[in-house]
């Protein structure tokens, strides 16, 4: 026995010094009887009966060579829990109930599966410890060090870490205790900062996960739609204010792929008949329709309208969405620790939702344009999404860029009909960089440094003949010259004669050129 235990002694605080005790009592841990005697509700003679049963179970088993095969006091918990007479004692019943919920949460959701056996041992040990105090609510228990030594905890592979073996194992035990605490959001188990002891905390027995599951079952379709939109808001990166208060509508920009130019429109969560009438018309509308309680509306197949519907979901998505909705719903009526716990859990569920949408976007959504409904993949057939969206060969396209690219493919003909004479740019011109691009072009005309962006603008506006400036070939310059020619001698052209306001947006020749004022 001594020969068997000696290789393990270096992992524990005083096993070496207590080796005679360990050998004499083997396979029982010396601390077993001492801890058992402190369990106030149990008759002392029970210990012999319990140990006899435990040893009888070991008789036909080989002595394990990957850990110290000792019977520690955590093993008594199963015996105590299964004895119906103990459930009649209110204090013991409270501890059993708390321990069972904690253990079931660890079995279902522990974040480090490899450490689950040690986590279960620790829960059983702390459950026994809880019954060794006269007050089951006292902040008393056992330190990580006491648990390591008192249970002869062991994790195969710990000897390969290379540090002090006892310290490495202690770090492992502390990690598992923290993971237990994290898995149950600080419920059921607490630590006392004064004495560094961990203990079962019967004052913190709100099973938040169970409450979320229960609330999730009672959510209606409209609530699920509302929280689906919250996840959608995240993946579509809607960080700015809504365009109209009370409506989920945002100003949105799409690339006219053929001309490498931005078009202005709206992103709306809902159907056309739910949209505010206070919104002035623009080039396009992207509608994300409610998946769980879709409203009745007529698709008029307008060339500026594109509809996106979530069609193919799975259990993973539904569980994440329902849990997210339930957690936020419960957080809205909770306060203090409970509120922050629900919010923290909601953040985790939202992260799962966002990851699911990102991963499944090409198959989960159906896009309808002018009565034709296809998946994102089908709309993109024969085209390089990577090339169109401008992402690198090793980058993964995100949800927003994918939606924008597919919308750009569908709406290309609409933009063409709107502005058939619009310039073809060789670099992307957006609302954010248009003014700077125009400034670069003006500097180049004035003979200053000609940037790549300036060249792209001058070329698109047909102001270049090779490398030389030649405005007389440009249909855009000709348009302005024709307006000027109609004036009498000495007359000037007013800005309002060139630039027209179309529902709050200014253009040069809105019916054909549809040029932004910066280019004029």
Domain hosting 172: range is 2-205
- Distance between CA atoms of 150 and 72, rounded to whole angstroms? 7
| Any domain includes 424 | no
Same domain, 439 and 389: no
Overall average pLDDT of the 254-261 stretch: 95
| Percent above pLDDT 70 for the chain | 100
Is 21 domain-assigned? yes
Question: Does 429 fall in a domain?
Answer: no
Position 426 in a domain? no
On the question of pLDDT at 3 being above 90, the answer is yes
Q: Do 86 and 105 fall within a single domain?
A: yes
Indicate whether 286 and 237 sit together in one domain.
yes
Of 205 and 295, which is predicted with more confidence? 295
Residue 101 pLDDT > 80, yes or no? Answer: yes
Residues 108, 109, 112: CA angle, nearest 5 degrees: 120
d(CA 482, CA 487) in angstroms, rounded, equals: 9
Which pLDDT tens digit goes with each residue over 461-489?
999 998 889 988 899 999 999 988 888 78
- Let me know whether 315 and 284 are in one domain: yes
User: In the prediction, which pLDDT does 206 show?
Assistant: 80
Per residue in 210-228, pLDDT tens? 889 889 999 999 999 999 9
108 and 54 in a common domain: yes
pLDDT in tens, 14-55: 999 999 999 999 999 999 988 988 887 777 777 788 888 888
pLDDT band at 80 (very low <50, low <70, confident <90, very high): confident
- Please tell me the predicted confidence (pLDDT) of residue 282: 92
Peptide bond into 374 cis (omega under 30): no
Q: How confident is the model at residue 384 (pLDDT cuts 50, 70, 90)?
A: confident
Which of 517, 388, 515, 390 is CA-nearest to residue 462?
515
| Segment 363-384 mean pLDDT | 92
From 205, 227, 261, the end of a domain falls on 205
The more confident residue out of 163 and 324 is 324
pLDDT at 277 over 90: no
Residue 375 pairs with which residues in a beta bridge?
366
Say if residue 336's pLDDT is above 90. no
The pLDDT assigned to 453 comes to: 94
Which of 394, 418, 442 is at the close of a domain? Answer: 418
Place of tokens 């360990």: 22
Domain closes at, from 205, 240, 263: 205
Predicted pLDDT of residue 53: 85
pLDDT tops 90 at residue 254: yes
- Tell me, yes or no, whether 400 and 467 share the same domain: no
Is residue 68 domain-resident?
yes
- 425 in a domain, yes or no? no
Q: What is the pLDDT of residue 83?
A: 86
Residues 44 and 16 in one domain: yes
Clarify whether residues 35 and 109 are in a common domain.
yes
Residues 6+ apart with CB under 8 A from 220: 293
pLDDT tens for each residue of 484-515: 888 878 888 888 889 999 888 999 999 889 99
Domain count, the chain: 3
> Residue 311: its pLDDT value, please?
93
Whether residue 71 lies inside any domain: the answer is yes
Looking at the structure, do residues 361 and 394 belong to the same domain, yes or no? yes
Separation of alpha carbons 351 and 372, rounded Å:
32
105 has a pLDDT exceeding 80? yes
Do 368 and 450 fall within a single domain?
Answer: no
Q: What is the pLDDT of residues 111-134, one digit of tens each?
A: 888 999 999 999 999 999 999 988
Is 16 contained in some domain? yes
Q: Looking at residue 151, what is its pLDDT?
A: 96
3-state secondary structure of 491: coil
| Domain shared by 201 and 251, yes or no | no
- Mean per-residue pLDDT, 154-162: 87
For residues 445 and 399, state if they share a domain.
no
Please list, in sequence order, all residues whose beta carbon lies within 8 angstroms of the beta carbon of residue 254, skipping any fewer than 6 positions away: 262, 263, 265, 283, 284, 404, 407, 408, 411
């Amino acid at each position: 026995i001594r020969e068997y235990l000696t290789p393990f002694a270096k992992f524990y605080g005083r096993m070496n010094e207590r080796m005679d005790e360990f050998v004499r009592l083997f396979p029982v841990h010396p601390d077993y009887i001492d801890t058992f005697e402190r369990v106030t509700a149990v008759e002392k003679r029970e210990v012999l009966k319990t140990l006899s049963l435990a040893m009888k179970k070991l008789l036909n088993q080989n002595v394990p060579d990957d850990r110290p095969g000792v019977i520690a006091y955590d093993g008594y918990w199963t015996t105590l829990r299964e004895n119906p007479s103990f459930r009649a004692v209110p204090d013991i019943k409270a501890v059993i109930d708390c321990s069972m919920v904690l253990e079931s949460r660890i079995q279902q959701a522990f974040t480090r599966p490899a450490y689950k056996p040690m986590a279960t041992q620790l829960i059983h040990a702390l459950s026994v410890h809880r019954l060794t105090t006269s007050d089951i609510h006292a902040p008393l228990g056992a330190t990580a060090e006491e648990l390591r030594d008192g249970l002869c905890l062991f994790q195969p592979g710990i000897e390969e870490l290379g540090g002090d073996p006892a310290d490495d194992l202690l770090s492992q035990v502390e990690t598992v205790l923290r993971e237990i605490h994290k898995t149950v959001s600080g419920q059921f188990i607490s630590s006392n900062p004064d004495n560094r002891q961990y203990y079962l905390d019967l004052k913190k027995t709100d099973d938040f996960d169970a409450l979320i599951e229960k609330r999730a079952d009672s959510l209606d379709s409209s609530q699920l739609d509302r929280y689906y939109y919250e996840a959608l808001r995240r993946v579509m990166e809607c960080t700015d204010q809504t365009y109209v208060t009370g409506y989920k509508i945002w100003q949105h920009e799409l690339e006219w792929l053929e001309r490498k130019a931005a078009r202005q429109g709206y992103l709306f969560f809902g159907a056309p008949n739910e949209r505010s009438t206070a919104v002035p018309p623009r080039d396009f509308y992207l509608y994300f329709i409610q998946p769980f309680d879709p409203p009745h509306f007529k698709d008029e197949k307008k060339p500026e309208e594109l509809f996106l519907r979530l069609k193919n979901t799975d259990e993973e998505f539904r569980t994440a969405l329902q849990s997210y909705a339930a957690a936020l719903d419960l957080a809205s009526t909770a306060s203090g620790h409970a509120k922050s716990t629900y919010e923290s859990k909601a953040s985790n569920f939202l992260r799962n939702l966002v990851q699911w949408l990102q991963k499944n976007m090409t198959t989960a959504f159906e896009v309808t344009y002018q009565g034709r409904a296809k998946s994102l993949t089908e709309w993109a057939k024969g085209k390089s999404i990577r090339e169109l969206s401008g992402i690198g060969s090793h980058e993964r396209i995100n949800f927003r860029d994918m939606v924008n690219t597919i919308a750009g493919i569908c709406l290309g003909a609409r933009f063409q009909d709107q502005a058939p004479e619009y310039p073809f740019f060789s670099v992307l011109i957006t609302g954010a960089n248009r003014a700077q691009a125009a400034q670069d072009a003006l500097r180049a005309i004035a003979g200053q440094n000609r940037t790549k962006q300036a060249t792209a603008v001058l070329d698109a506006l047909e102001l270049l003949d090779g490398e030389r400036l030649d405005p007389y070939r440009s249909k855009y310059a000709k348009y302005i010259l024709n307006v000027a020619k109609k004036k009498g001698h000495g007359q000037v052209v007013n800005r309002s004669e060139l630039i027209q306001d179309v529902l709050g947006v200014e253009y040069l020749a809105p019916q054909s050129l549809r040029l932004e004022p910066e280019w004029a």
